[in-house]
Structure 1
Amino acid sequence: MRRIALTFAALVFLALPAYAWNKPGHMVTGAIAYAELKKNDPATLAKVVAILKKHPDINRWNDLINRLEIAPEDRDLFLFMQAARWPDDARGTTYDRPSHHFVNIPLKPGATGSPAIPVGDSILVAFDENMATLADNDASDSEKAVALCWIFHLVGDVHQPLHSVKLVTAQFPDPIGDRGGTRFFIKPKANGGTISLHQLWDGLIIGSQNFQTVRNTATELRERTGLQRSDLSEIAEKDFLKWCSVESFDTARDVAYSDGNGGPLQGGSTKPQAEVLPNGYLDKAKAAAERRVILAGYRLADLLGANLD
């Protein structure tokens, strides 16, 4: 019966709309950060865990720990995973902040110069606000725990390229553009279903929220040749804005919206107009996504170490 229940839960999960990354993708980022802190900065790890234990959802997390029979030595890792996905779990509640997950920097093919950064509520504003709350001596323990979860999540979101841009073309005109790829429809395979480009990128890392599967994915990425800290020249960049407006913007332009052969990716503005992805696109997209998610995990660990010392 337990196996049947878990299978049913997995099927329900797969039927839900994906967020950025999807929830398991955020859990991977949390697991990478946890492993980095456990290895290199256990003092900061202890501080983070202590803050998370003051979170408004701690009782639900503890119930999950017991229900899923998470081993005592893995419970802090589980908290990191839950913290990273929590802002998506909180959708529809008083903690929901839909505009805090993205910023729509206009991506106009052929345009020169630096892109214009939109003003107003966005992932950029949310990051600064939550960092300020974490540093505020007058903030309650609960407020700091909520802010910490948002920081986990926003670092993940900002590394998903389609959370930083909107494509603006004749097909997708201003002011909406393609809304971060959510209005850009494609077919991963000729005989497959139609999804948005945004959905595709959200799910490139992992599709299962199983604890062991998430941990194994995080471990494999950390140990893979080419994804070590020393292999990632970007790791020296500490500016959240540049993670968004330079790195994710460039990845969106050069990979997400490219056909891989020097031309623009073709997609439909409605589902019936969806185009099939070109050969090789998925391999290049997955490689780029994995580089972004490992960077997010490393950078989250570094950010926590720098601000909770």
Structure 2
Amino acid sequence: MRTITVLATTLLIFCCGPAQAWWDEGHMQIAYIAYTKLTPAVKARADALLKLNPDYAAWTAGAPTGMESEYAFVHAATWADDIKLKPNYRYGKVTDADAGQNVGYSDLVNHDYWHYKDILFTPDGTPLPAPVPVDAVTQLNKMIAVMPSSSGATDDLRSYDLSWTLHLVGDLHQPLHVIARYTAQIAGAVGDRGGNEEKVVPATGETIALHAYWDRLFGGYSSVFGAINDATHDGISGITPDAAKAGILDPDVWAQEGFDLAKQNAYADPIRTDKTAVELTRAYETNARNIARDRVALGAARLANLLNQVLQ
């Protein structure tokens, strides 16, 4: 029993960190929906690049015959989180000289600080620190620039960047991955870390971090089959985002959208400016689910449009 408890606690701590977004379900649903919107030529290019990822065999193990490429694409969306548990990868600091490097699979730093962009915000005039120079937006812009074959980048680097891109597009569409709130009660060097310092009690009854509440709105860990089934039967794949919004392929714009949503909705009443746990209202939870569904659908459409452009 103690072993199970320790393992569960370890997983909870890992999942509630600032670098985890949507958990497996949300990331894989975004990837699945995007894959259905790729042109045949772009699908073929993406499939070929992902075969270079060291986890490709694991991604396709057990996939139905003929669906190996689709399963790999969907599973690849979690790879940037998976490497945080690999013993041959190490944690680094955003201030390290190699924090912003983009060199391919030879890079064994897990770069957990690539998963978010802290746009700083204070509702009460609390002093704000200087922003960090490396984040999800800076790195995704680098990756977008080298993914076209005309960039001259190696296939190893393009494969690495594609694997990260499948994940980072999802991260940037989670509102609490693009904000850090500083208040008189929650300040310090990193503020609230995107809602990780505030505690909430949802209808399920447990006390969890606000960030984790938003991350898990599509569920937790899932198989590829489960994510595809949920995207199909829960209606996410049937949501058609505004075409003009889906055509916006600038990560800076995505981050600003999420920042505005977080200010107006993620930190809305009854969320407090201190660390006191608050019970979420039905209105808050309903609004959060609706925003999350719209962001996932929009993120999937943008991911497809982005790949159709850079891998054409």
Given the alignment of the two structures, is residue 56 of structure 1 paired with residue 54 of structure 2, yes or no?
Answer: yes
For residue 121 of structure 2, what is the aligned residue in structure 1? 107
Q: Distance in 2 between matches of 1:141 and 1:98?
A: 23
For residue 20 of structure 1, what is the aligned residue in structure 2? 21
1:61 Cα deviation from its structure 2 partner: 2.4
The answer (yes or no) to whether the contact 2:147–2:158 under 8 Å persists in 1 is: yes
The alignment of Structure 1 onto Structure 2 pairs a total of residues equal to 277
CA deviations on 1:223-268 (whole Å, 9 max, x unpaired) are 54xx213x465223221101002x1011101111112xxxx62265
The answer (yes or no) to whether the contact 1:61–1:79 under 8 Å persists in 2 is: yes
Q: Secondary structure at the match of 2:37?
A: helix
CA deviations on 1:202-239 (whole Å, 9 max, x unpaired) are 10023341233210222243454xx213x465223221
**Quick check: 85-94 or 168-177, which moved more?**
168-177
**Quick check: 92-101 or 158-167, which moved more?**
92-101
The answer (yes or no) to whether the contact 1:164–1:249 under 8 Å persists in 2 is: yes
For residue 213 of structure 1, what is the aligned residue in structure 2? 226
Q: Distance in 2 between matches of 1:156 and 1:258?
A: 23
Q: Distance in 1 between matches of 2:173 and 2:56?
A: 27
For residue 246 of structure 2, what is the aligned residue in structure 1? 235
Q: Distance in 1 between matches of 2:211 and 2:69?
A: 31
- Greater percentage in helix: 1
Q: Distance in 2 between matches of 1:297 and 1:117?
A: 32
The answer (yes or no) to whether the contact 2:22–2:216 under 8 Å persists in 1 is: yes
Structure 2: gaps spanning 5 or more residues: 90-107
For residue 282 of structure 1, what is the aligned residue in structure 2? 285
Q: Distance in 1 between matches of 2:122 and 2:245?
A: 24
The answer (yes or no) to whether the contact 1:267–1:274 under 8 Å persists in 2 is: no
CA deviations on 1:9-45 (whole Å, 9 max, x unpaired) are xx979945322120221111110111111xxx11111
> CA distance change for structure 1 residues 289 and 13 in 2, over 3 Å: closer, same or farther?
farther
Q: Distance in 1 between matches of 2:216 and 2:244?
A: 25
Given the alignment of the two structures, is residue 199 of structure 1 paired with residue 212 of structure 2, yes or no?
Answer: yes
TM-score by length of 2: 0.80
For residue 32 of structure 2, what is the aligned residue in structure 1? 31
> CA distance change for structure 1 residues 80 and 243 in 2, over 3 Å: closer, same or farther?
same
> CA distance change for structure 1 residues 223 and 146 in 2, over 3 Å: closer, same or farther?
closer
For residue 66 of structure 2, what is the aligned residue in structure 1? 73
CA deviations on 1:139-186 (whole Å, 9 max, x unpaired) are 332222111111111101000011100112222225422111111111
CA deviations on 1:115-148 (whole Å, 9 max, x unpaired) are 9993411111111222234247543322221111
The answer (yes or no) to whether the contact 1:26–1:153 under 8 Å persists in 2 is: yes
**Quick check: 205-214 or 295-304, which moved more?**
205-214
Find 2:272's aligned residue among 263, 266, 286.
Answer: 266
The answer (yes or no) to whether the contact 1:30–1:80 under 8 Å persists in 2 is: yes
Given the alignment of the two structures, is residue 118 of structure 1 paired with residue 131 of structure 2, yes or no?
Answer: yes
The answer (yes or no) to whether the contact 1:186–1:267 under 8 Å persists in 2 is: no
**Quick check: 296-305 or 71-80, which moved more?**
71-80
Q: Distance in 2 between matches of 1:117 and 1:79?
A: 39
TM-score by length of 1: 0.81
Q: Distance in 2 between matches of 1:298 and 1:117?
A: 33
Find 1:253's aligned residue among 250, 263, 269.
Answer: 263
Partner letter of residue 84 of structure 1? A
- Quick one: percent identity of the two aligned structures? 33
Mapping of residues 32-181 of structure 1, within 5 Å: 32-37=33-38, 41-62=39-60, 65=61, 69-92=62-85, 93=89, 94-109=108-123, 118-135=131-148, 137-173=151-187, 175-181=189-195
